[in-house]
Amino acid sequence: MASSSKRSKVSKGSSRNENFLSKDNETAYGRFSASKITPSRILIQSDINFQILPLFSSTQLSFILTLSHSYHKEMFLQFLSNLRVTPECTRLSSFVMQQKVIIDKEDLGNFLHLRTEGDRLHTLIQEADISWALVNDTLRGNKDKVHQPRVYTLLQNARIIQHVLRSSIIPKAGDRVNITPLLSLVTHLIMTNTPFDEAQLILDYIHSLSDIRHPQTKRKKNIALGHLVCYILEKKYNLIYPEPPTEEPIFFTNASFRSLFHDPTVEGEDSEGDKEAPSEPAPVPNQNAFHDIIQRFDTMETNFGQRFDQIDLHMKTQEDRHNLDMAWIRGQTDYINQNVAMINSYFIAFNPQPPSDQDPGA
């Protein structure tokens, strides 16, 4: 009997999925798989006509901005679920397809051709006394001493750079009206030709996704940069998921840049050959109209996001209220059961006899 009990315990303990290093990681997988994947947009050759890549000439980001790599989301979900990070966040270790893997800063330099030296921006944005007057002068042409979050006040090149960054390298879904301090700082450094640790920027972003595994994280983030992780795993460990890819690359288009950033040369090219077409020297009103449309669209998108947050909060409140009601009902049920049990024990112990005038056998 004892040996049978031991075998039973062993069989229960071996029920863990072999794709995870621990039961906690397997639980975290459910939280990651419930999160939405934000695909990074890729620059294609035709977009060079809009002078996008030259804006990033001071960086080594051109490779990942043009890297088109399909992958299966299961590999990325396993990587995030089993992820462990060193205190300095210079090495990511995980367990993918039943194999231990490591991605460190040198791998991002070797496989993604990123700069591995310079300031660590996640630390700089938290600890350093940043001169926002200098940053705002670069991004907006004013010298306000506090961070300005509005996107529509950015100069054209600043707006293009931050748009590419938030769509490809520091993916940020939802709010397109505002720009984060980190995004402002990165845009400023690129425009002023100031080098920074690009590999560490990617490592810190992936590390931030670890918050999803914690139950106290109420609202799940979108996960991103899976194409970079899976590309390195394929090149370094020859890891390829046996099923067809589920995540295909999404590309920027000329039309998207034309609608976001008015280019006066486009009108000249479109009207070439039409000699009778009157010239309209009004690029500024057209540009303002584009900014107004973009701002209205971004405001609508933000309002939708806020509405979804309100719905999530309402559902959480209803869930908490339901749990309180059920706890009260269970308490009342337990109280009734205790009373019934006490009455039953009384009859069993004393076996009281009914009065003679109610005895059916009398």
pLDDT band at 272 (very low <50, low <70, confident <90, very high): very low
Residue 362 has pLDDT above 90, yes or no: no
Residue 279 has pLDDT above 50, yes or no: no
Amino acid 120: pLDDT: 92
Taking only the tens place, the pLDDT of each residue in 225-267 is 999 999 999 999 999 999 999 999 888 877 667 655 554 443 3
> Is the pTM higher than 0.75?
no
* Alpha carbons within 13 A on the beta-carbon side of 152: 15
Long-range pairs for 169-174: beta carbons < 8 A, 24 or more residues apart: 169/40, 169/61, 169/64, 169/65, 169/201, 169/202, 170/201, 170/205, 171/38, 171/40, 171/222, 171/224, 171/225, 173/36, 173/38, 173/222, 174/301, 174/302, 174/305
First to last CA, the chain: 56
Give the pairing of strands 41-42 and 250-251: parallel
Taking only the tens place, the pLDDT of each residue in 40-86 is 989 886 656 567 888 999 999 999 999 999 999 999 999 999 999 99
Amino acid 318: pLDDT: 79
Amino acid 45: pLDDT: 67
Of the listed ranges 57-71, 91-105, 232-246, 273-287, the one predicted with least confidence? 273-287
Amino acid 306: pLDDT: 60
Q: Is the dihedral of CA 156, 157, 160, 166 positive or negative?
A: negative
Of the listed ranges 89-98, 125-134, 213-222, the one predicted with least confidence? 213-222
Which pair of structure tokens corresponds to residue 147? 């961070």
Residue 117 φ/ψ, nearest 5 degrees: -130, 155
Mean pLDDT of the chain: 80
Taking only the tens place, the pLDDT of each residue in 312-329 is 667 777 777 888 888 888
- Give the rounded percent of residues in the chain with a pLDDT score beyond 90: 43
Q: Is 97 exposed, middle or buried (0-12, 13-18, 19+ CB in 10 A)?
A: middle
Residue 7 has pLDDT above 50, yes or no: no
Fill in the DSSP letter of residue 59.
Answer: S
